Amino acid sequence: MWVYEKKLLYPVEVSTCNPTLAKYLMEQYGGADGELAAALRYMNQRYTVPDKVIGLLTDISTEEFSHLEMLATMIYKLTKDATPEQLEEAGLGAHFVNHGHSLFYANAAGVPFTATYIQSKGDPIADLYEDIAAEEKARATYQWLIDVSDDPAINDSLRFLRERENIHSLRFREAVELLKDERDRKKIF
Amino acid sequence: MDRPLFRGNFKPYVSPRDPCPPILVKKFVLPPQIFTNFQPPGLPQNSPAEALKQGSLWPAFVDGYYREEGIS
């Protein structure tokens, strides 16, 4: 169960009309290493990881949804007033034909989101190592987005999101350490 | 917020037959979290306002990232 707060995790401001940037941002919206993939991956794995780390996966998944909401806001703001011609110039012509001005879960190349982006192996170490890799890949994606974006306001939000990936990666690494502590433990009741 | 501590670099092979002007040193990111498995207690903290801005309560895990760094 969730309580929804009607505000963004971090302010999203857009300083230039740049629908091409919206196309690139879709990599983090509906891409393989994007926020949707992250949120769904952790929210699903959480049921079968050891009790100690269930809360961590639930919390991080919830935060990923708030990141998804930030990305949606950026993409919406960058495209809402664009004419079909401008969208075409930005490489979003096919997107417009299929979805109009609405958003869709697809990556920067327009490939729709698929559950094959994520895995749930039922092995705590395999799952947590996938999660660490996912965070580092998302961090790198944010770096390349910052590199192609010349919008200082968007980059400010992207830097915040990138930093959150750093912290999430660290927390997953700590989860692995917690599970390593279970080795050969003799439980006495 | 520029943290050269969390950046690496290497010299890639450069061929005399490369078609483009070669980049002699390639930079990459070594983010702070990879240097610890478990966060030690009692790390210095950001002010709440700064923490909300940076995305981390602890400056130790903030390495920033700016296109001006020329990583890629």
Note the pLDDT tens digit of each residue in B11-70.
999 999 888 899 999 999 999 999 999 999 999 999 999 999 999 999 999 999 999 998
Q: Do B55 and A149 touch (CB under 8 A)?
A: no
Domains identified in chain A, total number: 1
Q: Does A125 reside within a domain?
A: yes
The residue of chain A nearest to residue B66, with distances taken between CA atoms, is: A146
Q: A17: closest CA among A72, A83, A67, A70? A: A83
Domains identified in chain B, total number: 1
Quote the Cα angle for A157-A163-A165, to 5°: 110
Instruction: Tell me whether residue A185 is exposed, middle or buried, using C-beta atoms within 10 angstroms of its C-beta: 0 to 12, 13 to 18, 19 or more.
Output: exposed
Query: What is the extent of the structural domain holding A56?
Result: 19-180
Distance from CA of A98 to the nearest CA of B (A): 33
Q: Does A189 reside within a domain?
A: no
Cα-based distances in Å from B26 to A136, A189, B4: 19, 56, 14
Please check whether residue B26 touches A, CB under 8 A.
Answer: no
Residues A57 and A128: beta-carbon distance below 8 Å: no
- How far is Cα A114 from Cα A80, in angstroms, rounded to an integer? 25
Query: What is the extent of the structural domain holding B57?
Result: 4-37+44-69
Q: Does A122 reside within a domain?
A: yes
Q: B4: closest CA among B72, B56, B71? A: B71
- How far is Cα A189 from Cα A121, in angstroms, rounded to an integer? 31
Q: Do A169 and B33 touch (CB under 8 A)?
A: yes
End-to-end CA separation in angstroms for chain A = 33
Confidence of residue A189 (pLDDT cuts 50, 70, 90): low
In this predicted structure, the answer to whether residue A187 has a pLDDT above a threshold of 70 is no
* Predicted pLDDT at A183: 79
Q: Of A40-44, A64-68, B8-12, give the lowest mean pLDDT range.
A: B8-12
Q: Least CB-CB distance to A166: which of B31, B37, B71?
A: B31
Say which residue the tokens 């037959």 belong to: B17
On average, the pLDDT of chain A sits at 96
Q: Does A9 reside within a domain?
A: no
Q: Do A170 and B61 touch (CB under 8 A)?
A: yes
Residues A96 and A88: beta-carbon distance below 8 Å: yes
Residues A65 and A145: beta-carbon distance below 8 Å: no
Residues A145 and A27: beta-carbon distance below 8 Å: yes
Please check whether residue B51 touches A, CB under 8 A.
Answer: no
ipTM for this prediction: 0.81
* Predicted pLDDT at B5: 85
Q: A52: closest CA among A142, A134, A135, A124? A: A124
When pLDDT is averaged across residues A88-109 and rounded to a whole number, the result is 97
**Chain B residues touching A143 at Cβ < 8 A:** 29, 65, 71-72
Confidence of residue A182 (pLDDT cuts 50, 70, 90): confident
Alpha helices in A46-102 (DSSP H): 51-79, 84-89, 93-99
Q: Does A3 reside within a domain?
A: no
Beta bridge partners of B26: B10
Say which residue the tokens 């919406």 belong to: A76
Say whether A67 counts as a known binding-site residue: yes
A142-168: per-residue pLDDT in tens?
A: 999 999 999 999 999 999 999 999 999
CATH of the domain at A60: 1.20.1260.10
If one counts every other C-beta atom within 10 angstroms of the C-beta of residue B31, the result is 24
Q: Does A4 reside within a domain?
A: no
- How far is Cα A129 from Cα B46, in angstroms, rounded to an integer? 29
Alpha helices in chain B (DSSP H): 48-54
When pLDDT is averaged across residues A57-61 and rounded to a whole number, the result is 98
Confidence of residue A85 (pLDDT cuts 50, 70, 90): very high
**What residues of chain A have any CB closer than 8 angstroms to a CB in chain B?**
10, 136, 139-140, 142-144, 146-147, 149-150, 155, 159-164, 166-167, 169-170, 173-174, 176-177
Confidence of residue A117 (pLDDT cuts 50, 70, 90): very high
Question: Do β-strands B26-29 and B7-10 pair in parallel, antiparallel, or remain unpaired?
Answer: antiparallel
Q: Does A130 reside within a domain?
A: yes
Q: Does A188 reside within a domain?
A: no
Of residues A187 and B28, which shows the higher confidence score?
Answer: B28
